Amino acid sequence: MNLNNIHNVYFVGIGGIGMSAIARYFASNGKHVAGYDKTPSQITLDLEDLGVDVHFEDALKNIPISFLNKKKTLVVYTPAIPENHLQLNYFFKNDFTVLKRSEILGKITEDTFCLAVAGTHGKTTTSSILGHIMAQVKATSFLGGIAENYNSNLILGEDKISVVEADEFDRSFLKLSPNIACVTSMDADHLDIYGDSEALNESFIEFSNKVSDTLIIAKGLPLNGLTYAVNEEADYKAFNLKIESGKYIFDVKTPSSEIKNIEFHLPGQHNVMNALAALAMADVCGISLENIKQSLSTFKGVKRRFSYKIKTEDFVLIDDYAHHPTEINAVVTSVREMYPNEEVLVVFQPHLFSRTRDFIEDFASALSRFDEVLLLDIYPAREKPISGVNSEWLLGKINSKKKKMTQKKDLVKDIKNSSAKVLTMLGAGDIGLMINEVTKELLKSIENEV
């Protein structure tokens, strides 16, 4: 398939964070882009502002007539789309060129020098940091989150170097051809796809074998490559960590050099690890350490990754995508580091019945580290309910005197009834949409108190 011969690109599931980055890419390169998604969102609104035709009803009549020319139309879909989707089945039955998101990303990047970031946690932040560093050499970066510096999940550059987030879901990352790659973590996740952690590990090994030049790994992972670590010996080592004026300052030793007083504004040592992984990849790619240091100091973060929605002397609201116990632990560790003397309330929306079932004890342990817990119902995403798996079951296992179920309609009231001065809202479901309304209502209350 020659992408130059494609005039139209139709996306089934265009509002997904990874899908929309590719839609932006094609729209920016002069292709006609249209697509379906289940619900409107800020992402779909932003796409419409670019001239993309987006609709929200799965009906054949909504496919623009010009997109029915199979010789000039490419169809891209996400594995999260149900099997009975009318439009997708129409494209399959009528012999259109239909590719998964991972396959088209592989096609786009196969003729570039590709830097791929893999891992069950940290890949969105790491790839966004790396994309910010590599923007100085005009790399094009496809991200799994909205980078604050660009207000986008696409950093558009030229077609020589690409930065991609290599997603292990549905084994998508095996469609890529990375020159340089890193693996940030290999914790058990997506067991609805893999079955067990051994199958997940085998998939990461298969991915590592696809790397043509250099593999970089968090120290301790069962892979062969250059290692990175914080405060312990590794090929890339961050040390002398200090927190000054709300930012990290640290030094880094590389295999051949050392650089001092790197400034980095994201909280939590896990984010220092993410910055270190990006530094290592850029260093191997030939970017000077001084230029890397400059980019790290200006990186603003990723939306929904420890994002401050309210930050006053009396109240703090932090929004984060954390939906796995390891990620929740990283958030609570960061919050305790930044606000050691404050009471902390968490609002958590579990994501997927299978993930809740598979990690129930770990979720309970992580959430028990907060002073107070408000728990929403499980967000099902692509799944049907599993008997006996619900938020009430999780709530019963949380070791906290201050814990309760809440509903969307009661959420603001329950938050206001808390004495906590630090609030974190965590989850990968539609809590990401709820956060805006909660922020608005809490800001009103703060203004009324002044």
Q: How confident is the model at residue 15 (pLDDT cuts 50, 70, 90)?
A: very high
pLDDT tens, position by position, 221-234: 999 999 999 999 99
Query: Cα(423)–Cα(435) distance, rounded to whole angstroms?
Result: 11
Specify the CATH superfamily of domain 3-103.
NAD(P)-binding Rossmann-like Domain (3.40.50.720)
| Per-residue CA distances from 300 to 80, 140, 247, 357 (Å) | 30, 18, 11, 35
Average pLDDT (165-172) is: 79
Query: Cα(19)–Cα(233) distance, rounded to whole angstroms?
Result: 38
- What is residue 191's predicted lDDT score, i.e. its pLDDT? 52
Q: What's the mean pLDDT when you consider all of the chain?
A: 93
Give the residue carrying structure tokens 């927190």.
Answer: 243
Six-digit token pair at 255? Answer: 């295999």
User: CATH 3.90.190.20 residue ranges in the chain?
Assistant: 307-449
Query: Cα(119)–Cα(142) distance, rounded to whole angstroms?
Result: 16
Average pLDDT (259-279) is: 95
User: When comparing pLDDT for 422 and 169, which is higher?
Assistant: 422
Query: Cα(346)–Cα(340) distance, rounded to whole angstroms?
Result: 15
Give the distance, in angstroms, between the CA of residue 403 and the centroid of all CA atoms in the same chain. 28
Exposure string over 300-334, b if 16+ CB within 10 A, otherwise e:
ebbbbbbbebbeeeebbbbbbbbbbbbbbbbbbeb
Rounded to the nearest 5 degrees, what angle is found at the Cα of 316, between the Cα atoms of 247 and 375?
Answer: 120
Query: Cα(336)–Cα(370) distance, rounded to whole angstroms?
Result: 9
Tell me which amino acid residue 405 is.
M
Query: Cα(330)–Cα(326) distance, rounded to whole angstroms?
Result: 6
pLDDT tens, position by position, 82-101: 889 999 999 999 999 999 98
Rounded to the nearest 5 degrees, what angle is found at the Cα of 251, between the Cα atoms of 247 and 253?
Answer: 145
Q: β-strands 236-244, 247-253: how paired?
A: antiparallel
Asked if the 307-449 domain carries CATH number 3.40.50.720, the reply is no
**Whole-structure pTM over 0.85, yes or no?**
no
Q: How many residues are listed for the chain in this entry?
A: 450
pLDDT tens, position by position, 173-215: 888 999 999 999 987 654 555 556 678 888 899 999 999 999 9
- What is residue 295's predicted lDDT score, i.e. its pLDDT? 98
User: CATH 3.40.1190.10 residue ranges in the chain?
Assistant: 110-298
User: CATH 3.40.50.720 residue ranges in the chain?
Assistant: 3-103
- What is residue 279's predicted lDDT score, i.e. its pLDDT? 98
Enter the CATH code of domain 110-298. 3.40.1190.10
Classify residue 378 by burial, with Cβ atoms within 10 Å: 0-12, 13-18, 19+: buried
To the nearest whole percent, how much of the chain has pLDDT over 70? 97
Classify residue 149 by burial, with Cβ atoms within 10 Å: 0-12, 13-18, 19+: middle
Q: Comparing 85-99, 196-210, 350-364, 374-388, which segment has the lowest mean pLDDT?
A: 196-210
